């Protein structure tokens, strides 16, 4: 009897603390969406030039950032998952660094390296190539903060592939590349796609590094988060509308990620 | 002919193996952790030995001194790993076709069908590995490994995931298959019955070393060392001292008394071990005179274990020196009943001299 009672109390405590957290995240998000729809006209605001321009720029830059992350991050993740090499833990930590670093610091670092007087930016400038404060800089800023999310997921995916399957593939006449394409990648695919989704969601929400390294230029570097900053002073409805779009995209991305994780668990 | 003479160290494990395999089935037998799988991996090219030489049918695939190391995908052998490792994302048909990338599409389909039929899995072609049984998975894995028509087949515990009721059939099929496809087979197992039933030749491996290799019966009945005898399931191993030899007999003094053993020549050392299989010791009626002159002992049964078709008796020799070991005797169920063994504790045994194996050192 006592035991049953204490069990009920502990359950109640768990439920209350969980409810507080859900409310803490849910209420602001819900309030924002409610206010956008009740007080303003979200759909009309979304058709404003500020919103549409920012939306397309965000979708284009984040898509390119994810593509680059996949092309460069996949071999890096495979290397980290399958091979020991000197300095591996340092490389590993360096790749994770942007996750914990304030994005503004990342943007500043990019600016110092790729700005007009930077170590790489200097020679590029001499060759007539400007990087900072261009749309390209937006992509680089997004890549910088978002690529660790892809590499971490891809690495975990590669590590989960049974090495004996790769060994068997080799004894069946498949070289390294064929084994990678036909065994390793298909089996790690849920993780690879999940990582790409997380990477994309992070790139889409990128703010600090972008404003530092690419500035906030309408039509060129003003992505959705940056457009919110500007619109909040001139057109609150537009700011709310863009925020709602970001919330919806992020939510959909997370749902997709979780669905893929479940799918991966079932297939393998 | 496969020849692997290799040395390597994996972690703290030291492997030093010299193995020769002809067109037949060689069983690599030993306890788990003896280095069996490492040896297969080295032959397959999945593990690069520190030094040595591996040849497959006169083709050198590894030679540390000549800098030769052919990668696994070009060693042209079939390797059935433990628990089969079928590709989970591919169907049975795609698994079998996996190694046929170099074959034209139409031919490939014929080949997949032929091998699927050969292994009785042609009705599973569209299933995923998660939806077939252990025995079916073994057949698919064999079909996959053999579809490339290798001359060498490596098998790592091929029957471990198969129901015991199906094992006997599969062992027989494996032997027929090896003959029909003219394969050199190296099979790894830790199961002595399996080693005996499948192998033409037996190599006993222990702690990274081949203790003994040769034709199955030779190895099974004439273990070269006490450790090999122990691994080969010889229950009775007695230390002794050679005190004399005449014609084809060696006389050995043991804690149980004098034992005569059949041997072509006197062993190199006087300190020897005698190995006697439990099933070769004969239980005799104590109330009848023995027809044997030598190796007769009065015994007392001290313990007994039954395994359905036979009984294992643990017996104490009555006139043994103090501290002398007990013996194990296997008595088949029928004589056990006829003699009414449980009714008496005191019996007589006879150890035929030809059943005693003298191991030097």
Q: Does the distance separating the beta carbons of B78 and A164 come in below 8 Å?
A: no
Reduced to 3 states (helix: H, G, I; strand: E, B; else coil), residue A199 is helix
Say if residue A35 is in the same domain as residue A47. Answer: no
Best probe of the A interface among B72, B81, B138, by most A CBs < 10 A, is B72
State the virtual CA torsion across A111, A116, A122, A128 in degrees, nearest 10.
130
The residue that leads in pLDDT, B273 or B1, is B273
Number of domains in chain A: 2
- Name every residue in B having a CB less than 8 A away from some CB of A: 41, 44-46, 71-75, 77-79, 81, 85, 87-89, 98-99, 101-102, 144-145, 148
* Residues of chain A contacting B77 with CB distance shorter than 8 Å: 171
pLDDT score, position A2:
54
Same domain membership, residue B258 and residue B216: no
Residues B337-354: tens digit of each pLDDT: 888 888 888 899 999 999
Percent of chain B scoring above 70 in pLDDT: 100
Q: Note the pLDDT of residue A268.
A: 45
Q: Which domain holds residue B346?
A: 234-360
pLDDT confidence tier of residue B135, bands split at 50, 70 and 90: confident
CA distance B85 to chain A (A): 6
Cβ neighbourhood burial of A21 (10 Å; 0-12, 13-18, 19+): exposed
**Per the structure, how many domains does chain B have?**
2
Distance from CA of A92 to the nearest CA of B (A): 25
- B46 contacts on A by Cβ (under 8 Å): 167, 170-171
Nearest to A164 among B71, B78, B81 (CB): B81
Of A167, A173, A175, which is closest to B99 when you measure between CB atoms?
A173
Instruction: Tell whether B153 and B275 lie within a shared domain.
Output: no
* pLDDT reported for residue A110: 96
CA atoms within 13 A on the CB side of B120: 8
What SS3 class is residue B61?
A: strand
B214: helix, strand or coil: strand
Q: Over its length of 268 residues, how does chain A's per-residue pLDDT go in tens digits?
A: 455 566 788 899 999 999 999 999 999 999 999 998 888 788 888 888 989 999 999 999 999 999 999 999 999 999 999 988 999 999 999 999 999 999 999 999 999 999 988 899 889 989 988 899 999 999 999 999 999 999 999 999 999 999 999 999 999 999 999 999 999 999 999 999 999 999 999 999 999 999 999 999 999 999 999 999 999 898 888 899 999 999 999 999 889 888 877 776 554 4
Model confidence pLDDT, tens digit, residues B295-346: 999 999 999 888 778 899 999 999 888 888 899 999 998 889 888 888 888 8
B267 lies in the same domain as B207 = no
The span from the CA of B290 to the CA of B298, in Å, is 11
Higher pLDDT, A146 or B263: A146
Q: What are phi and psi of A200, to 5 degrees?
A: -65, -45
Angle ∠(A7,A13,A18) on CA atoms, nearest 5: 125
Which two tokens mark A12? Answer: 């109640």
**Spatial separation of the C-alpha atoms in residues B163 and A243, rounded to whole Å:** 61
The 8 Å CB, 24+ separation contacts for A173-178 are: A173/B73, A173/B74, A173/B99, A173/B101, A173/B102, A173/B148, A174/B73, A174/B98, A174/B99, A174/B101, A175/B71, A175/B73, A178/B101
DSSP state of A75: H
What's the average model confidence in pLDDT over B19-47?
Answer: 92
Q: Indicate if A131 and A234 belong to the same structural domain.
A: yes
Contact A165 B85 (CB under 8 A): yes
Clarify whether residues A229 and A143 are in a common domain. yes
Mark whether A20 and A103 lie in a shared domain: no
Are A147 and A29 part of one and the same domain? Answer: no
Q: Give the CATH number of the domain where residue A143 resides.
A: 1.10.3720.10
pLDDT at residue number A218: 93
Chain B residue closest to A163 (CA)? B85
CA distance A101 to B330: 74
Q: Report residue A156 CA to chain centroid gap.
A: 16
Question: Residue A52: helix, strand or coil by DSSP?
Answer: helix
Of A164, A182, A268, the CB nearest to B85: A164
Q: Are residues B24 and B163 in the same domain?
A: yes
Q: Choose among B58, B287, B38, B331: nearest CA to B186.
A: B38
Same domain, B151 and B34: yes
Instruction: Tell me the β-bridge partners of A102.
Output: none
Neighbours of B88 (CB within 10 A): 16
Q: Same domain, yes or no, for B216 and B238?
A: no
Lowest mean pLDDT among B137-146, B208-217, B282-291: B282-291
Residue A6: domain span: 1-39
User: Does one domain contain both A15 and A111?
Assistant: no
Distances (CA, A) of A198 to A11, B161, B274: 33, 40, 70
Query: With the C-alpha atoms ordered A151, A156, A158, A163, is the resulting torsion angle positive or negative?
Result: positive
Contact B99 A182 (CB under 8 A): no
Q: B85 and A174 in contact by Cβ < 8 A?
A: no
From chain A, pick out residues whose CB is under 8 angstroms from the CB of B72.
Answer: 167, 170-171
């Amino acid at each position: 009897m006592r035991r049953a009672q204490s069990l009920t109390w502990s359950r109640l405590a768990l439920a209350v603390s969980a409810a507080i957290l859900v409310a803490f995240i849910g209420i602001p998000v819900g309030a924002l969406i409610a206010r956008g729809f009740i007080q303003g006209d979200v759909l009309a605001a979304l058709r404003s030039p500020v919103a549409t321009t920012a939306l397309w720029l965000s979708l284009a830059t984040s898509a390119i950032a994810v593509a680059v992350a996949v092309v460069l991050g996949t071999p890096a993740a495979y290397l980290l998952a399958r091979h020991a090499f000197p300095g591996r833990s340092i490389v590993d930590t360096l790749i994770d660094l942007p996750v914990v670093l304030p994005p503004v610091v990342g943007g500043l670092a990019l600016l110092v390296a790729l700005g007009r007087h930077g170590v790489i930016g200097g020679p590029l400038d001499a060759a007539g190539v400007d990087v900072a404060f261009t749309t390209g800089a937006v992509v680089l800023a997004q890549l910088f903060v978002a690529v660790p999310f892809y590499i971490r997921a891809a690495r975990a995916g590669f590590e989960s592939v049974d090495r004996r399957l790769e060994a068997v593939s080799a004894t069946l006449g498949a070289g390294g590349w064929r084994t990678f394409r036909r065994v390793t990648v298909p089996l790690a695919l849920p993780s690879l796609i999940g990582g790409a989704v997380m990477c994309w969601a992070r790139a889409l929400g990128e703010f600090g590094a972008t404003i530092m390294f690419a500035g906030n230029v309408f039509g060129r570097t003003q992505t959705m988060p940056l457009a919110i900053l500007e619109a909040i002073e001139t057109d609150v409805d537009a700011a709310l509308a863009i925020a709602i779009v970001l919330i919806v995209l992020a939510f959909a991305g997370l749902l997709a990620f979780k669905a893929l994780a479940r799918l991966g668990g079932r297939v393998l | 002919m496969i020849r692997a003479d290799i040395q390597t160290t994996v972690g703290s494990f030291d492997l030093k193996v010299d193995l020769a395999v002809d067109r037949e089935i060689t069983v690599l037998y030993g306890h788990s952790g003896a280095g069996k799988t490492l040896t297969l991996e080295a032959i397959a090219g999945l593990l690069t030995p520190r030094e040595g030489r591996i040849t497959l049918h006169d083709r050198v695939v590894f030679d540390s001194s000549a800098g030769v190391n052919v990668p696994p995908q070009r060693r042209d052998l079939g390797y059935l790993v433990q628990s089969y490792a079928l590709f989970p994302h591919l169907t049975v048909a795609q698994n079998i076709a996996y190694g046929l990338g170099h074959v034209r599409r139409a031919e490939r389909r014929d080949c997949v069908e032929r091998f699927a039929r050969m292994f009785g899995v042609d009705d599973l072609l569209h299933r995923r590995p998660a939806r077939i049984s252990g025995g079916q998975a073994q057949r698919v894995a064999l079909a996959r490994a053999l579809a490339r028509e290798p001359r060498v087949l490596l098998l790592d515990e091929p029957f471990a995931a198969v129901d015991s009721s199906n094992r006997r059939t599969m062992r027989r099929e494996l032997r027929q298959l090896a003959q029909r496809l003219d394969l050199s087979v190296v099979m790894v197992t830790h199961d002595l019955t399996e080693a005996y039933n499948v192998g033409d030749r037996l190599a006993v491996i222990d702690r990274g070393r081949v203790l003994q290799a040769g034709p199955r019966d030779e190895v099974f009945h004439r273990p070269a060392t006490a450790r090999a005898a122990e691994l080969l399931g010889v229950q009775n191993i007695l230390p002794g001292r050679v005190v004399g030899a005449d014609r084809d007999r060696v006389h050995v003094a043991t804690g149980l008394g004098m034992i005569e053993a059949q041997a072509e020549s006197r062993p190199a050392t006087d300190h020897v071990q005698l190995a006697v299989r439990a099933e070769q010791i004969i239980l005799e009626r104590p109330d009848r005179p023995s027809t044997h002159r030598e190796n007769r002992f009065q015994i007392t049964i001290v313990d007994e274990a039954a395994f359905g078709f036979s009984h294992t008796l643990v017996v104490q020799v009555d006139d043994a020196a103090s501290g002398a070991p007990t013996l194990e005797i296997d008595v088949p169920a029928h004589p056990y009943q006829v003699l009414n063994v449980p009714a008496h504790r005191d019996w007589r045994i006879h150890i035929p001299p030809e059943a005693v194996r003298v191991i030097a050192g």
